[in-house]
Amino acid sequence: MWNLLGEELVMVVQNYYDIITILFLSIGLTYLASRAWKRATNMREDIPGRLGLPLIGETFSFLSATNSTRGCYDFVRLRRLWHGRWFKTRLFGKIHIFIPNPEGARTIFANDFDLFNKGYVKSMADAVGKKSLLCVPVENHKRIRRLLSEPFSMTSLSAFITKFDKMLCGRLQKLEEKGKSFKVLDFSMKMTFDAMCDMLMSITEDSLLRQIEKDCTAVSDAMLSFPVMIPGTRYYKGIMGRKRLMETFRDIIVRRRTGEESPGDFLQSMLQRDSFPDSEKLDDSEIMDNLLTLIIAGQTTTAAAMMWSVKFLHDNRDAQDILRDEQLSLAKIKPEGASLNHEDINNMLYGLKVGI
C-alpha cells in the first residue's frame, strides 16, 4: 500500500512539476521581498518625518510656502522644529530626505553624481527643458558643463565687468536725477536680467528684453508648481512662456547662421562650433535649453547676492564705512568717469572679503 501511495505521489509530482516549481519560487520570492520591504521600512523609520498621503504627501504645504512671502525655507524650518535637523517628506509623489549639514551636501554634490544620481521634479524639468544642464543624465552633464564654461574666459569676463559697471552707474544716476526710490531686489533682478541677455545674446532692445523677461518669469514660477496643463495655472503659463522663448531663441539662431547678425557673444561662440565633432559642440536644443537655464539661474542668484550685500552692509555700518573708503581711494587714482575693470576688482582687498 505504501509503495502504491509513493508511486502515485511521484506521478503527481511529475505531472505538475512546473506548477510546483513556480509555487515554491513564488513563495521564496515573496519571502525575500517581504524581508527587503521590512528592512527598507525600518530604514525609513529611522529618519523622522511625515510622508502624508500616497503621491500627494506634503506637496500642497510645500507649494503654499513657496508661493507665499515666507518662501520654501519656511516649509523646511517648521519641519526641523517638529522632527529635528534630519527629516523626510513626500513631495510630488517622491520621498525626499532633507540633509542638514555641509558635509552631507558636499558628499552628494562633490562626487559628480558617482554616489547619488541627480533628479528634479517634473515641473522643473519641463520648464527648463530636457537638455538643460540641470536635467541631463550624468554621461552628458560633464560634456555640456565643459562646453558651456569655455566661452567665459578671463578676457570676456574682464570686458563684462566694465560693461556691467557702466550699465549699473547709468541706471543709478538716472534714478538719482529723478529723485526716485526703489526696491533693491526689483532693481537687481531687472539689472542682472538685462546684463545676462546682453552677455549671452547681445540683446539690448527694451521691448524684446521685457518680453523675454516676462516669459522667463513665468518659467521660473512654474519650476515649483503642480504639473497640470490647466489654463491659468502657473505650470500652464510657464510652459507657454517656454514655447515663446524657444521660438525667440530659434529665430536669433537662424539670423546668426544666415549672417544677418554675428556679435562676439556667448551664443556666437556656441554656433561657431557647428562643424566640430558631436562631442565638441552643442546641438540647437542643448543651446536653447541652456540659454534659458543660464538666464534664470544667473539672474536669480546674482540679484539675491546683491540684495543681501546691501542688507548686511546696512546692518554693519563699520564694514560699510571701510568699504566706502576703499572705493573712494580707488576712484581717486582712476581717470574721471572711467569704469571699473578686472584689475580694480583684484585691488579691492576688503571688498573681496565682503563679497565672500
Nearest to 99 by CA among 122, 124, 121, 116: 116
Helices (H), the chain: 2-15, 17-46, 59-66, 72-83, 102-109, 122-128, 138-149, 154-178, 184-201, 206-222, 234-257, 266-271, 284-315, 317-332, 342-347, 349-355
Q: Is the dihedral of CA 343, 347, 349, 354 positive or negative?
A: negative
Give 224: exposed, middle or buried? Use CB within 10 Å, 0-12, 13-18, 19+.
Answer: buried
**pTM of structure:** 0.74
**CATH assignment, 147-315:** 1.10.630.10
Would you write out the chain's pLDDT as a tens digit for each of its 356 residues? 444 444 554 454 454 444 445 445 555 555 554 554 444 444 445 788 888 888 788 888 888 887 777 777 888 888 888 888 888 888 877 888 888 778 877 777 776 666 666 667 788 889 999 999 888 887 788 899 999 988 887 777 888 888 898 999 999 999 999 988 899 999 999 999 999 999 999 999 999 999 999 999 999 999 888 888 999 999 999 999 999 999 999 999 999 999 887 788 899 999 999 999 988 999 999 999 999 999 998 888 889 888 988 999 999 999 999 999 998 998 888 888 888 888 888 888 888 776 55
Q: Encode pLDDT of 152-206 as tens digits.
A: 877 778 888 888 989 999 999 999 999 888 999 999 999 999 999 999 999 999 9
Three cell numbers, residue 139: 554621461
The residue type at 179: G
Residues recorded for the chain: 356
C-beta separation of 209 from 193 below 8 A: yes
